[in-house]
Every structure is written in C-alpha cells, then in structure tokens.
Amino acid sequence: MQGLIAMSSINRSKTRTALITGASAGLGAEFARQLAASVDRLVLVARRTDRLQQLANSLSVECVIMTADLSLPDSVSELVDRLQRDDIEVDYLINNAGIGGPALLHVDDWTEQRQFERLMMSTVAELCGRLIPPMMERGYGRVVNVASVAGRFPSSDTGNYGPSKAYVIALSEELHLAARGSGVNVSALCPGFTHTEFHEVAGMLEAKAAMPQWIWYDADLVVREGLRAVERGRAVQVSGRLYRWLDPLLRSRLLRGLIMSATGTSNRHQ
C-alpha cells in the first residue's frame, strides 16, 4: 500500500474516520475537504496515488492513502484487509467512485462491462456489507452512496449507467431500513449535472459545452447537501433545487411517459 501512515499512536476511541472512494477528483475530493472539518482521519481511495497525495497534502487532517482499482474482483477484500491490519475503524463510508461506462448493446468484449458493473454496484454493496455491521455494533455510522438523478428514471441511451445508479438507490433504501435504530444512517445521494472531471473522462466535453449553464451545480453544494441528508437520516437525497423540483415529475407515471416520448429524454452521464 502506497503512502500508508502508521496508526499505532492513535487513540481509537477518540478517532473518527471517513473512508472515501474516488477521492482523487470531483465529488470525492470535495467530500474529503468537507469531512476534514469533522473527522480525525480520512482514508482516501482511488487509482491515482499522486492525486490522492496532492489532496492529502492540502488538508490539515491525518490522511491514509489507499491506492485501489475498485473495478477488480478482490479490491474490496484487499482494502478491508488493509483496514484491519492497520486497526482502522470506519465511521463514515462514502461510496463515490464512478464512471460513465461503456454502452450495453452490441458489446464484443464483456470485460469492460463487467468491470463497470463491479465498480458501480458490487463494490458499493460489498463495502456496505463489510463495513456497516461493525458500525452497527459500535452504535454509530454514516454511509453516503453516491447515485444519480439518472437512476430515478429510464432513458433511451442503452447504457448501464442509469440502471446501475437505480440499483445503488434501491440498495441504500434497503440498508437505510435495515440499519434503522442502530445509530447508523444510510443515504443515497442523487446529483444532477455537476461540475467535476466526470464528463471529461466520459469524452463528453463538447456535449457539456452545449448544455445550458443553469442545469449545472458545483460539487461544493452537492456534497454539503449529501452530508446534511445523511446526518438527518434521509434515505434518498436529490441534490440541487432544480433536480428536486424535477424529481417527482420524472417519477410520476403519467408525466414520465409524456416527457420521455416528447423529448426522448437523455439522462446518461449525470
């Protein structure tokens, strides 16, 4: 593990730790900046160690860097092994890492699709499954699973992105109920279009430039709303006033049908 800081001198009973996946950019880095004010230690996870180190250097809180590709089958067990080895208990879990992903139809090589599904769904479920029970035993935990407005209604993009986010929302609602009364709050955070590196990574900068500015939010607001929602015990938080207003419309059966047939609504890569 690169950049691991020794933990032996820490008094665990007073140390509150947040683990953030996809902390090297965008919403994940913003979660790290905002949580740095309320936790004692951050565990920063992503593939790009240099970016994680850069972020860690800019924060005035202890940071543990764990380089991991969360689309690989054993990545979560390796991550959890490292946590156990270094005696790190996680109090805040932010399942945030994500990408736009490949198209689903007419696929020749399924490897990329399987890795996408692992990153977007299995990894989220496994981290929840492994880290929530110890939180429940200790009587305290906060879990934010970053989903998307794209998981709230279908589109015609034939991608697996929206469905993967719908799964994350359903999983979070289930876990929210399962953990009720234990001191552990689980929330799905559903951002709409947000300024991060996401659309650049997905090769969508041109499409982004053509969109109206008023449908875009800053990561700062999205993360603030997500952290507030999990603190208040909300199962699902749609972030941004515009998307909160649109959400019930897009989810109502009648309007959903009308909107989709009238506009061919495209929600991919939100």
Ligand X SMILES: NC(=O)c1ccc[n+]([C@@H]2O[C@H](COP(=O)([O-])OP(=O)(O)OC[C@H]3O[C@@H](n4cnc5c(N)ncnc54)[C@H](OP(=O)(O)O)[C@@H]3O)[C@@H](O)[C@H]2O)c1
Written in H, E and C, the secondary structure of 58-78 is HCCCEEEEEECCCCCCCHHHH
**Cβ contact 261:156 at 8 Å:** no
Q: What CA–CA distance (Å, rounded) separates 255 from 251?
A: 8
Q: Write each residue from 80 to 99 as x if it is in contact with ligand X (CB under 6 A), else as -, in one continuous string.
A: ----------------xxxx
Closest distance of CB 138 from ligand X, Å: 26
CB of 86 to ligand X, least distance (A): 19
At closest approach, how far in Å is the CB of 155 from ligand X?
A: 13
Q: Judged by CB under 6 A, does residue 218 bind ligand X?
A: no
From CA 99, how far away is CA 201, in angstroms rounded?
A: 8
Considering only 2-10, 65-73, 81-89, 126-134, which stretch makes contact with ligand X by CB under 6 A? 65-73
Contact positions with ligand X (CB under 6 A) in 97-116: 97-99
Check binding of 22 to ligand X (CB under 6 A).
yes
Distance (Å, rounded) from C-alpha 176 to C-alpha 248? 21
Q: How far apart are CA 192 and CA 29, in angstroms?
A: 18
User: To the nearest whole angstrom, how small is the minimum distance from the Cβ of residue 94 to ligand X?
Assistant: 10
Among 48, 180, 228, 251, binds ligand X (CB under 6 A): 48
Per-residue contact string for residues 196-215; x = within reach of ligand X by CB under 6 A: xxx--x--------------
Q: Which residues contact 260 (CB under 8 A, 6 or more apart)?
A: 153, 154, 155, 156
- At residue 160, the 3 state secondary structure works out as coil
239 touching ligand X, by CB under 6 A: no
In eight-state DSSP terms, residue 159 is: B
**Residues lying near ligand X in the complex (CB under 6 A):** 21-28, 46-48, 51, 68-71, 96-99, 119, 146, 148, 191, 193-194, 196-198, 201, 270
